[in-house]
Amino acid sequence: MDLEKLSSSIDVDSSKVKDISVACTRLLDVQKQIADIENQLKTVQEQELKLSEQIIPNLMQEMGISLLKLADGSAVEVKPYYAAKIPTDKTTEAFQWLRDNGHGDLIKNNITVTFGRSEDDRAKELIDLFQQKGHSYKQAEKVEPMTLKAFVREQIQNGRMVPSDIFGIYVANKTKITNKE
């Protein structure tokens, strides 16, 4: 099929082409507005993070307080905040560390059936049984994010060392402002 002959034989309504052009220009304008707003949001979020995790906690620490009740009945409190996430490239190392340090029960081991936190040994038995019988299986191990966060918080609060590089640990003080009720 010769596209040049086909395109020359199609009547194009120039007013519709203009409408498409105008709509495309509007689309580009809206996309630019979205990008600008997203950049503004990012800037404001960075300001919020700095105030919440640095400026207010530092000011309150200088005063030697972690809770301040204001005249209007609201309260400002600074509390420790813990976050952790095992990086994908550190999963094997993190799981081995948990097992070696007596915390293997945090690892969920999935083989078609979900095994709970303290059922790692049962999952290994089932894998061995599958292998003995010549069955193929699909295994997935994971630590639930909230379980990992709670574990890291508990370990740090009790003065125990947890490798921050393999658990992606982030610890900060966060400001919480509550209104009077």
Place of tokens 């999963």: 91
- Is 112 strand, coil or helix? coil
Contact residues for 22 (Cβ-Cβ < 8 A; gap 6+): none
Consecutive H or E run containing 77: strand 75-83
pLDDT-above-90 percentage for the chain: 67
Give me the pLDDT at residue 3, please: 47
The residue-averaged pLDDT of 29-49 equals 97
- Whether 27 has a pLDDT exceeding 80, the answer reads yes
Q: Is 88 left (phi over 0), alpha (psi -120 to 50) or beta?
A: alpha
* 104-160 tens-digit pLDDT: 999 998 766 567 888 888 888 888 888 888 877 777 889 999 999 999 999 999 999
- Cα–Cα dist 171/149, whole Å: 10
**How is the chain split into domains, by residue range?**
3-65, 77-178
pTM for the predicted model, two decimal places: 0.59
